[in-house]
């Protein structure tokens, strides 16, 4: 064939050691062109003339063309066969002198094949150790007892026999039934059982050829293959041409060797398969044609070698019982990982036939949808209530809802039914130098920023580097203790927990593994801040524990579905300048280690975030505020997870060897945000305008830049 099987892609057949060149395929026909370069060095020494003493060099071209389609060499000349590395057992069976009587005008003229010679060929194939024998012969007479017995012996020895269905599909002459294979093929199938495949012909569009006998009552053992317009006919060791035209081949005789070639190719690639499994695999992988399932025209369908070389049935990691669903994401990346692909993270899986395949697991973790914050920031009827004194500060944020378990203590029963509490916080004084605060539904970072007098500058899109966790999370309960150690110097202790997911994971492909609840996180940290004249500085460190996520990524059972531990370092400064100008900068560095669980053998991630602000009060009129921010949200700069994956498999012993492979989690995209805000008092409320430009949203290089503007008006009551 000029173009056969494509083995390239994310999933490839695993070749263990030798490439299987010792696979022997027999062809019972009228001999071959022994001098053809297509078979050089691959003709078995056990090849023989079974009907005479002429040798295997045939008078005609039929056997040569059949053998070329089955296993012609990949030698950069002409075309090549399906199993181009297999060895050829030539079993010449034409009656001496019969091929010389061929008359193109008479289908009944030409080569004749004694059944005794065909039977002897099958026995020779058994003795030589052939795996498949092609018989592109036929006739309306059923085979005799001698041949049937030989077929039985061959199939009992594990040889798969391929026989052509016949080319009488367009006639009922001589008692032919075009809706069934020829009687010769029927008889071989009856004698050999499940290891005899009857090959019918289809054209390039996959439609049954008009000349091909149909499957009929032998649909369970009938497989169609290209037998019409097959390239190319060979003559005298080269392509047969006339002018600029190349002769092509037609007939079920040339569909059969393609099926036989597929058998040899599969046996070569997967030495663990029995002959019964190879036949089952060909049927199971065949492309359905005609009526759904087995049908009386196409039988099992149309040969699909490429599909036969893809995993079939349930797949699992080689050497383990860990199921691997190759057609679905095996997890979801966290926001800081963006479009990380993990390319080159290869391992082995086995399918329902016990065949091993190399799989590149790169891309098996789905990208998280970028977090477009605008609708959440300006949508909904959110109400904030707050009160403060020198010793106590309270804040409560609610939205219309049904109350329920989200309602906080402190609301009356009536109010709890009417409002859904989003967040609440309280700060109170313990003594002259110590304050304590509690938060629900909001992070402790907001409380700490308020105590330090920091401002968010009313930004909608770009967060400061030290805000939040850096990935999708919903804060639960938090506590902060802040102590004044000396003049203008403070230390703070924070404790916080919450959920790693939320509504953003509503399309989580691993939902079925999560037992109906979101992953949790806990955070414990300490911070120091001080003011030296016009400069305010802060340093912080915290320990972050995720119970079953990795910087927000959800890793499925194949990866171990474990958690991670991170060390977080924060640094920031604010410079108060003349004329109400202010400059601020923040930096976050995170070091993360995944749990060594399941296939995860270790690894480390280094992640960074930064932000830089310029702000001005009283820019246009007294009391207005303007700010410009340039920021990069948390992004994995380098690193990944180390996986212990199966990398070698021995079909003979069943042993699987494992090796360490790194799944890179650093994205190629880099989100950068430039956002400007302006706020002024108006009509007893506040008018706030924002505009922004966002490169590579979610650290995904393929995402279009996000840009826009928003105008808000808020009023207190």
H helices of 210-274, where? 252-269
Q: Express each pLDDT in 32-83 by its tens digit.
A: 999 888 899 999 999 999 999 999 998 888 999 999 999 988 877 767 889 9
Residue 189's H or E segment, with its range, is helix 183-192
Mean pLDDT along residues 109-132: 93
- Higher-confidence position of 197 and 654: 197
Mean pLDDT of 383-399: 57
**What is the predicted pLDDT for the residue at 573?**
93
Q: Does residue 310 surpass a pLDDT of 90? A: yes
Q: What is the torsion angle, in degrees rounded to the nearest 10, for the CA atoms of residue 398, residue 401, residue 403 and residue 405?
A: -90
Higher pLDDT: 231 or 113? It is 113
Helix (H) or strand (E) holding 145: helix 145-156
Within 10 Å of residue 345's Cβ, how many Cβ atoms?
22
Q: Does residue 602 carry a pLDDT above 50?
A: yes
Tell me, what's the pLDDT at 203? 92
pLDDT of 166 > 60? The answer is: yes
Nearest to 285 by CA among 260, 270, 266, 267: 266
Would the pLDDT of 538 be above 80?
yes
> Where does the pLDDT of residue 211 fall: very low under 50, low under 70, confident under 90, or very high at 90 and above?
very high
Query: Quick one: pLDDT band at residue 556, thresholds 50, 70, 90?
Result: confident
Inform me whether the pLDDT recorded for 280 exceeds 50.
yes
Report all structural domains of the chain as residue ranges with CATH numbers, in order of start: 23-308 (3.40.50.200), 374-715 (2.40.160)
For the segment 553-578, the average pLDDT, to the nearest whole number, is: 89
pLDDT confidence bin for 614, thresholds 50/70/90: very high
Q: Closest Cα partner for 667 from 553, 565, 585, 523?
A: 553
Could you tell me the pLDDT band of residue 364, with boundaries at 50, 70 and 90?
A: confident
- Stretch 142-157: mean pLDDT, rounded? 97
Share of the chain above pLDDT 90, in %: 56
Section 141-159 average pLDDT: 97
User: Is 214 a residue whose pLDDT tops 50?
Assistant: yes
pLDDT higher than threshold 50 for residue 407: no
Cβ within 8 Å of residue 79, ≥6 positions away: 1, 2, 68, 72, 231, 232, 239
Q: Which of 231-245, 290-304, 309-323, 393-407 shows the lowest per-residue confidence on average (mean pLDDT)?
A: 393-407
Ramachandran sector of residue 76 (left: φ over 0; alpha: ψ -120 to 50; beta: rest): left
**Residue 415 scores a pLDDT above 50:** no
Taking the C-alpha atoms of residue 395 and residue 652, their distance in angstroms, rounded to an integer, is 70
Place 9 in a pLDDT band, splitting at 50, 70 and 90: very low
Q: What's the mean pLDDT when you consider all of the chain?
A: 85
**Model confidence pLDDT, tens digit, residues 646-660:** 999 998 888 999 999
Say yes or no to pLDDT of 508 above 80: no
- Winning range, highest mean pLDDT, from 171-175, 413-417, 691-695: 691-695
Residue 388: CB atoms within 10 Å: 10
- pLDDT value for 392: 59
The pLDDT value recorded for residue 10 is 64
DSSP state of 513: G
287 and 304 in contact (C-beta within 8 Å)? yes
pLDDT above 70: percentage of residues in the chain: 85
């Amino acid at each position: 064939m000029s173009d056969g099987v494509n083995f390239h892609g994310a999933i490839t057949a695993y070749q263990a050691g030798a490439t299987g060149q010792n696979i022997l395929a027999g062809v019972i026909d009228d001999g071959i062109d022994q001098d053809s370069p297509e078979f050089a060095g691959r003709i078995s020494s056990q090849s023989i003339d079974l009907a005479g003493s002429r040798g295997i060099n045939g008078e005609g071209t039929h056997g040569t063309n059949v053998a070329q389609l089955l296993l012609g060499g990949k030698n950069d000349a002409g075309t090549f066969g399906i199993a181009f590395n297999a060895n050829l057992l030539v079993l010449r069976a034409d009656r001496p002198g019969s091929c010389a009587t061929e008359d193109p005008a008479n289908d009944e003229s030409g080569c004749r094949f004694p059944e005794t010679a065909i039977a002897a060929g099958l026995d020779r194939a058994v003795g030589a150790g052939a795996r498949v024998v092609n018989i592109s012969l036929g006739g309306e007479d059923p085979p005799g007892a001698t041949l049937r017995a030989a077929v039985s012996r061959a199939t009992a020895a594990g040889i798969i026999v391929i026989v052509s269905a016949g080319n009488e599909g367009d006639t009922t002459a001589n008692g032919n039934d075009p809706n069934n294979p020829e009687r010769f093929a029927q008889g071989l199938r009856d004698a050999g059982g499940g290891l005899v495949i009857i090959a019918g012909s289809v054209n390039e569009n996959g439609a049954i050829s008009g000349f091909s006998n149909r499957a009929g009552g032998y649909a369970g053992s009938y497989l169609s293959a290209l037998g019409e317009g097959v390239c190319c006919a060979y003559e005298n060791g080269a392509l047969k041409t006339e002018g600029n035209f190349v002769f092509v081949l037609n007939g079920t005789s040339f569909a059969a060797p393609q099926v036989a070639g597929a058998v040899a190719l599969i046996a070569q690639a997967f030495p663990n398969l029995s002959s019964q499994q190879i036949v089952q695999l060909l049927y199971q992988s065949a492309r359905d044609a005609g009526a759904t399932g087995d049908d009386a025209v196409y039988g099992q369908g149309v040969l699909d070698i490429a599909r036969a070389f893809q995993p079939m049935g349930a797949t699992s990691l080689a050497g383990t019982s860990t199921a691997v669903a190759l057609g679905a994401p095996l997890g979801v990346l966290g926001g800081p990982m963006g479009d990380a692909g993990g390319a080159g993270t290869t391992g082995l899986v086995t399918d329902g036939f016990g065949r091993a395949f190399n799989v590149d697991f790169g891309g098996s973790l789905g990208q998280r949808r970028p977090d477009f914050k605008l609708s959440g920031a300006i949508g909904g009827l959110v109400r904030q209530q707050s009160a403060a004194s020198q010793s106590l500060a309270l804040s409560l944020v609610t939205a219309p809802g049904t109350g329920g378990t989200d309602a906080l203590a402190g609301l009356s029963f009536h109010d709890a039914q009417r409002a859904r509490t989003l967040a609440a916080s309280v700060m109170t004084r313990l003594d002259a130098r110590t304050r304590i605060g509690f938060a629900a539904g909001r992070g402790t970072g907001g409380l700490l920023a308020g105590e330090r007098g920091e401002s968010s500058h009313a930004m909608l899109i770009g967060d400061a580097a030290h805000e939040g966790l850096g990935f999708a999370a919903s804060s639960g309960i938090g506590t902060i203790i802040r102590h004044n150690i000396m003049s203008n110097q403070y230390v703070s202790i924070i404790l916080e927990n919450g959920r790693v997911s939320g509504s953003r994971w509503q399309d989580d492909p691993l939902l079925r593994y999560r037992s109906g609840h979101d992953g949790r996180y806990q955070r414990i940290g300490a911070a120091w801040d001080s003011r030296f004249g016009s400069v305010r500085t802060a340093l912080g460190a915290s320990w972050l524990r995720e119970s079953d996520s990795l910087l927000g990524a959800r890793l499925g059972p194949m990866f171990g579905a474990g958690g991670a531990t991170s060390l977080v370092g924060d640094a920031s400064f604010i410079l108060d300048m003349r004329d109400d100008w202010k400059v601020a900068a923040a930096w976050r560095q995170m070091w993360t280690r995944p749990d060594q669980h399941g296939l995860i053998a270790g690894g480390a991630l280094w992640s960074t975030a930064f932000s830089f602000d310029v702000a001005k009060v009283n820019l246009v009129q007294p009391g207005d505020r303007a700010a410009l921010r340039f920021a990069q949200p948390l992004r994995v700069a380098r690193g990944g997870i180390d996986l212990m994956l199966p990398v070698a498999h021995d079909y003979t012993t069943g042993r699987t060897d494992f090796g360490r492979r790194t799944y890179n989690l650093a994205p190629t995209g880099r989100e950068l945000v430039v956002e400007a805000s302006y706020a002024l008092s108006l009509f007893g409320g506040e008018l706030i305008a924002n505009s922004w430009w966002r490169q590579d949203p979610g650290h995904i290089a393929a995402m279009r830049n996000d840009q826009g503007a928003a105008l808000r008006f808020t009023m207190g009551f």
